[in-house]
Amino acid sequence: MKPSKILVGTAGWTLPRDEQVHFPAGESHLARYARVFDAVEINSTFHRSHRESTYTRWAESVPASFRFSLKLPRTITHDHRLAGTRALMDTFLDEIAPLGARVGCLLVQLPPSLALDRRTARPFFGALRARFPGAIAVEPRHAGWFTAEADELLDNLQIARVAADPARAPNGGEPGGWGGFAYFRWHGSPRVYYSAYEDEFLDRLAERLRALRAAGVPNWCIFDNTTLGAATGNARSVLARLR
């Protein structure tokens, strides 16, 4: 069995000043970032649309093997709450088309108030799966999504449930949904978005990623504790452990 890929990166590619020494020279932060990491998560797509020229520039700044994870717009997940969103979905997928094969994952982050409703969730994720053949991960934040019923629905559509820290439910720190793909999002602990993770945590994390790879499960590990720049150092540390 061919070893599965582990992609490690951060939410965004801004390089903190004290981390820049670890990155080769380049024409932009993204170009420098992509010479160390193989993947990045883009959260700005959640808030606004981007021009075609922006996506084209991003694609041209990274190697062909580099992958982007793009968060679906809030108009889909928060304003419309997944219902009646096919036109919005098509618009978004058309917008990101200049990235081509570099689109490695779509991230669907749901509002904390959005409970699982199969009448809405099933057609939404079915439509998204029909339109996008790559990896899809959902980060729910309502307890109703952390059940056997939710896992079955997501598994049938090959949608992974994000493993997140801090966890939103007793099993929220473990991957769920479809077992053929895993996506980890680490937001910082004890202070969310600020705190760096300790060495012991990173040791355990690297072992988890290795175990998934050995089992043939491709996985992403994204650090979102970016407020004070801790994400970059944590991601580099995990890469070092994996090597």
- What pLDDT score was predicted for residue 168? 85
- What pLDDT score was predicted for residue 2? 40
Q: Whole domain around residue 202: which residue ranges?
A: 6-242
Cβ count within 10 A of residue 204: 11
- What pLDDT score was predicted for residue 169? 87
* Tens-place pLDDT, residues 7-42: 999 999 999 999 999 999 989 999 999 999 999 999
Mean pLDDT of 122-134: 97
Structure-token pair, residue 60: 């041209």
Mean pLDDT of 130-136: 97
- What is the average pLDDT score of the chain? 96
CATH of the domain at 68: 3.20.20.410
pLDDT at 134 over 50: yes
Question: Cα separation of 217 and 213, whole Å?
Answer: 5
- What pLDDT score was predicted for residue 4? 63
In a domain, 1, yes or no: no
Mean pLDDT of 107-127: 97
Cis peptide before 175 (omega within 30 of 0): no
**For 78-92, b where at least 16 C-beta lie within 10 A, e where not — what string?**
beebbeebeebbeeb
- What pLDDT score was predicted for residue 3? 47
Mean pLDDT of 86-100: 98
* Tens-place pLDDT, residues 16-25: 999 999 999 9
- What pLDDT score was predicted for residue 112? 96
Question: To 5 degrees, how large is the angle CA 189–CA 190–CA 196?
Answer: 45
Three-state SS letters, 106-163: EEEECCCCCCCCHHHHHHHHHHHHHHCCCEEEEECCCHHHCCHHHHHHHHHCCCEECE
DSSP sequence for the chain: -PPPPEEEEEBS----GGGGGGS---SSHHHHHTTT-SEEEE-HHHH----HHHHHHHHHHS-TT-EEEEEPPHIIIIISTTTT-HHHHHHHHHHTGGGGGGEEEEEEEPPTT----HHHHHHHHHHHHHH--SEEEEE--SGGGSSHHHHHHHHHTT-EEPEEES-SSTTTTS-EE-TT-EEEEE--SSSTTTPPPPHHHHHHHHHHHHHHHHTT--EEEEE---TTSHHHHHHHHHHHHH-
- What pLDDT score was predicted for residue 197? 98
Number of domains in the chain: 1
Return the biggest CA–CA distance within the chain.
51
pTM for this model (two decimals): 0.95
